[in-house]
Amino acid sequence: MSGIKDSERIEELRKRLYERGMPEVERTAHTLSDTSIDVPRVWSRPSSVIATKVVSPDNKSSTQPSVRPTNQSRSFSDITYPASLNTQLASNQTYAASAAPTPLTTQLMSPSQSHHPKSYRLKLLAAGAIFFVLALVISSAMMMFGNNGISGENITITATGPFTIGGGEAMPIQVGLTNSNSVSIESATLIVEYPRGTLSANEERKELFNERLALETVAPGETINVPLRALMFGEENQEQQVNVSVEYRVAGSNALFFKEADPLRYKISSSPLIFTVDTLKKISSGQETDITMTIRSNAQNELRDVLITAEYPQGFSYSSSNPKPSSGQNQWLIKTLAPEQTVSITMKGVVIGKTSDEYAINYAVGVPNERDPQTLASVFATAQTQFEIEEPFLDIDLTIDGVVNEVAVVTPEKRTTVSVDVTNTLSDTIYDIVVEAALGGNAISDLEVGPPKGFYDSATRKIIWDISNAPQLEELAPGKTTRLSFTIAPSGTVNNTPEINVVVNIKARRVSESQVPETLTGTANGSMKVASEPVLRGYATHNSGSFADIGTIPPQAEKATTYTIGFMVDNGTNDISGGIVTATLPLYVTWQNQTIGTGVFSYDKIKRSVTWNIGQVESQSQVMGSFQVSFTPSKSQLATIPTLDEEQFLRADDLFTGTVVRATNPAITTEISTEAGYPRGNGRVLE
């Protein structure tokens, strides 16, 4: 029995599976009745139907008709079942599918079992059909009417030019723009981005960065060709590129669209100029060295405004150059450079460092930036010079007035001895030494250069020693020293900051080594500054100055007489500052607290000292000041000339030499100068 039920269930499932998608058969739902039907209790007898209780899967009870077998015998096929039982058996799949349901079975099926699943499938089927129709309509519309819009894919922009170009030459660039849309593009602007340092081929010294060219409206199917020319610069074999793009708008929209071309890539085949630097490989610390920069044009056209820059390392000190720098101490500007023209720049500098230290100077040549002329917009060529500090081969001491390798301060017109000591610090002998002392400064007087053993050339103001006038210079053994000397006095006609400079250059020869020059050089510097020499003067007057004086001249014992004491400072060749004059009044002289003149006077009653603060005084100028004192002589001073003011002292700072200058003036007495109309002896005390 179990096998029959299983086969019936399988058959029922197969039937339902294959019935999917078949046309829906309209069915009428009927409600269940409460009529009791007698069902046979056994299969062989007629049945009577009774009511029984059935429990559904959700545990709810319902009254169902029950089948009871009768005693009447029937065949299996002749048995007729009530509709309610047929429905229950069909749902449980206990009978074979071949037992066709009776009309009563159809009437007893619920709506949820017969109508709802297929209705849901019909809705899904209808939604899918609608979607398919809409997609078909939209795709057809796009195919029929899509060409009326603007697409960036329909805009073609190209940039063409040579693959290589010589530095400094004009490069032709062809830009093409094609509008393949069915409508126009408006407000079209061509944008060209050039590499750094590019110059205009039409406008002199105009640097090109982002160039914008208005194309306005480009009609459908129209092609626009834009020719461009620019001067390209760069180092040899340097790869660069030009970027081209277009901006545009469309009618009825404020949006800005953008289309970019493939970059135009090219290579600089040759530099517009050749740049070389020549200098020594090894130098000693403190040695002045020459650096020669050579620039030769390699361009077909004239180059303008070529800028050379140098980057000095720490320890390098620039001295001079020919020609002079155009800016600072490390930039030179060549206004024009014709094809194949060569320009040389010679620079002098001093490197200071420790033995075995290495230094490098970096150079660059190119076009100055239009917005900042002190920087390079494009680099044509670069170079580097390297120095290695070796142990000094010549130790040079320059001594001026006993001061070695420093600034010596001397007084005006003083004759000073200058000595040059040359020591060979190498382990090898050096030969054919030439010593040259170059004199400079505003206080040089050719007549004041003492007769040296060497030769003094007044035209060049150089003293030269060599083998001809100093035989000891023929060779100098390791560790040996030789001395050369001369005398000099500063000129007395210089009115402002007199100075004498001495630069000693030495050349010698030794056996050449790898990367070491055969000719050795050395240098030393010194200077002689002439200090200012101010003069301090003091005097006494009576009724001839700014104050009204009382008493008699000559003074009388036990009677008061007032005097005006005057100070004057006559400055020398240099400005001085912080000038102070001090003096002391004797016990018998009284300070009257009356002053006049430059600066400020002050009086210390305890110390009885007078201080005159004159501050800063320019060179070759004078300052004066006066104050009043009272003198009542005692009879013990009869027939004497008493002192009114003790010795005066001046102290000030020389702004040129950085030294302190001093001056003194002797004591001032009651004796007044005869130039004021008084006879001699007018300061002697009378009774």
Average pLDDT value for residue range 657-663: 94
| Residue 90: C-alpha distances to residues 2, 18, 82 (Å) | 15, 18, 12
Burial class (CB in 10 A: 0-12, 13-18, 19+), 277: middle
Average pLDDT value for residue range 430-446: 91
Average pLDDT value for residue range 9-17: 73
| Percent above pLDDT 70 for the chain | 80
- Of 21-30, 254-263, 584-593, which has the strongest mean pLDDT? 584-593
| Residue 175: C-alpha distances to residues 98, 120, 213 (Å) | 86, 64, 11
List own/partner pairs for 354-358 with CB under 8 A and 24 or more apart.
354/285, 354/389, 355/285, 355/389, 355/390, 355/391, 356/388, 356/389, 356/390, 357/315, 357/388, 357/389, 358/386, 358/387, 358/388, 358/389
Report d(CA 452, CA 381) in Å as an integer: 50
Answer with the residue of higher pLDDT: 583 or 509.
583
Tell me, yes or no, if the two domains 152-270 and 273-390 fold the same way.
yes
Helix-, strand-, coil-residue percentages of the chain, each rounded to 5 = 15, 45, 40
| Residue 574: C-alpha distances to residues 528, 623, 658 (Å) | 14, 15, 10
Task: Cite the DSSP H helix spans in 101-174.
Answer: 103-108, 111-114, 116-145
Does position 83 have pLDDT exceeding 80, yes or no?
Answer: no
DSSP 192-257: EEPPTT-EESSSTTPBPSEEEEEEEEE-TT-EEEEEEEEE---STT-EEEEEEEEEEE-TT----E
Element (H, E) at 83: helix 83-92
Give the pLDDT confidence score for residue 649 in this predicted structure.
97
Average pLDDT value for residue range 208-236: 87
Other CB atoms closer than 10 Å to residue 455's CB: what's the count? 12
Secondary structure of 484-553 in HEC code, one letter for each residue: EEEEECCCCCCCCCCEEEEEEEEEEECCCECCECCEEEEEEEEEEEECCCCEEEEEEECCCCCCCCCCCC
Give the pLDDT confidence score for residue 2 in this predicted structure.
52
Mean pLDDT value across the chain: 80
- Of 92-101, 443-452, 625-634, which has the strongest mean pLDDT? 625-634
Answer with the residue of higher pLDDT: 530 or 90.
530
Longest dimension (CA), the chain: 195
Element (H, E) at 266: strand 264-270
Q: Among 2.60.40.740, 2.30.110.10, 3.40.640.10, 3.40.50.10490, name the CATH number for the domain at 394-530.
A: 2.60.40.740
Does position 312 have pLDDT exceeding 70, yes or no?
Answer: yes
Burial 16-33, CB ≥16 within 10 A → b, else e: eeeeeeeeeeeeeeeeee
Average pLDDT value for residue range 424-437: 87
Does position 72 have pLDDT exceeding 60, yes or no?
Answer: no
Average pLDDT value for residue range 526-539: 93
* pLDDT band at residue 11 under the 50/70/90 scheme: confident
Least confident span in 95-99, 123-127, 390-394: 95-99
* pLDDT band at residue 147 under the 50/70/90 scheme: very low
Least confident span in 95-99, 248-252, 531-535, 546-550: 95-99
Burial class (CB in 10 A: 0-12, 13-18, 19+), 44: middle
Does position 22 have pLDDT exceeding 60, yes or no?
Answer: no
Nearest to 439 by CA among 471, 400, 386, 473: 400
Phi, psi of 137 (to 5 degrees): -65, -45
Whether the upstream peptide bond of residue 554 has omega within 30° of 0, thus cis, is yes
Does position 66 have pLDDT exceeding 50, yes or no?
Answer: no
Least confident span in 19-33, 42-56, 494-508, 572-586: 42-56
| Residue 370: C-alpha distances to residues 168, 199, 205, 234, 302 (Å) | 16, 10, 7, 16, 19
Give the pLDDT confidence score for residue 279 in this predicted structure.
86
Does position 49 have pLDDT exceeding 70, yes or no?
Answer: no
Average pLDDT value for residue range 412-432: 88
pTM of the complete model: 0.47
* pLDDT band at residue 29 under the 50/70/90 scheme: low
Q: Let me know: does 288 contact 523? Beta carbons within 8 Å.
A: yes
* pLDDT band at residue 103 under the 50/70/90 scheme: very low
CATH code of the region 535-676: 2.60.40.1170
Give the pLDDT confidence score for residue 681 in this predicted structure.
92
- Of 162-171, 357-366, 450-459, 548-557, which has the strongest mean pLDDT? 548-557
User: Which position has the token pair 């939604």?
Assistant: 127
Least confident span in 120-129, 170-179, 664-673: 120-129
How many residues in the chain?
Answer: 687
Other CB atoms closer than 10 Å to residue 43's CB: what's the count? 13
Give the pLDDT confidence score for residue 84 in this predicted structure.
44
Q: Let me know: does 535 contact 302? Beta carbons within 8 Å.
A: no
Residue pLDDT, tens place only, 464-487 = 999 998 999 999 998 899 999 999
Enumerate residues 6+ apart whose C-beta is below 8 A from 59: none
Answer with the residue of higher pLDDT: 129 or 418.
418
Residue pLDDT, tens place only, 595-649 = 999 999 999 999 999 999 999 999 999 999 999 999 999 999 999 999 999 999 9
Domain ranges of the chain: 2-108, 115-145, 152-270, 273-390, 394-530, 535-676
Average pLDDT value for residue range 591-597: 95
Does position 246 have pLDDT exceeding 90, yes or no?
Answer: yes
Phi, psi of 435 (to 5 degrees): -115, 130
Q: Let me know: does 360 contact 313? Beta carbons within 8 Å.
A: yes
Vertex 174: Cα angle to 173 and 180 (nearest 5) = 150
Residue pLDDT, tens place only, 168-214 = 788 899 999 999 988 889 889 999 999 877 888 887 767 788 889 99
Beta strands at 155-160 and 170-179: parallel, antiparallel or unpaired: antiparallel
Q: Let me know: does 540 contact 644? Beta carbons within 8 Å.
A: yes
Give the pLDDT confidence score for residue 65 in this predicted structure.
41
Q: Let me know: does 676 contact 539? Beta carbons within 8 Å.
A: no
Element (H, E) at 420: strand 416-424
Give the pLDDT confidence score for residue 112 in this predicted structure.
42
- Of 204-218, 281-295, 302-316, 510-524, which has the strongest mean pLDDT? 302-316
Enumerate residues 6+ apart whose C-beta is below 8 A from 603: 591, 593, 609, 610, 611
Nearest to 631 by CA among 664, 672, 674: 672
Enumerate residues 6+ apart whose C-beta is below 8 A from 299: 166, 167, 168, 169, 272, 273, 339
Q: Let me know: does 311 contact 361? Beta carbons within 8 Å.
A: yes
* Domain 152-270 = CATH 2.60.40.10: yes
Q: Is 461 left (phi over 0), alpha (psi -120 to 50) or beta?
A: left
Structure tokens at 333: 């500007």
Other CB atoms closer than 10 Å to residue 61's CB: what's the count? 9
Does position 528 have pLDDT exceeding 50, yes or no?
Answer: yes
Average pLDDT value for residue range 677-686: 92
Residue pLDDT, tens place only, 330-378 = 999 998 888 889 999 999 988 887 777 888 999 999 888 877 888 887 7
Query: Topology of domain 273-390, per CATH?
Result: Immunoglobulin-like (2.60.40)
Q: What is the dihedral of CA 56, 62, 63, 67, to 10 degrees?
A: 0
Give the pLDDT confidence score for residue 583 in this predicted structure.
96
Does position 405 have pLDDT exceeding 70, yes or no?
Answer: yes
Report d(CA 590, CA 279) in Å as an integer: 76
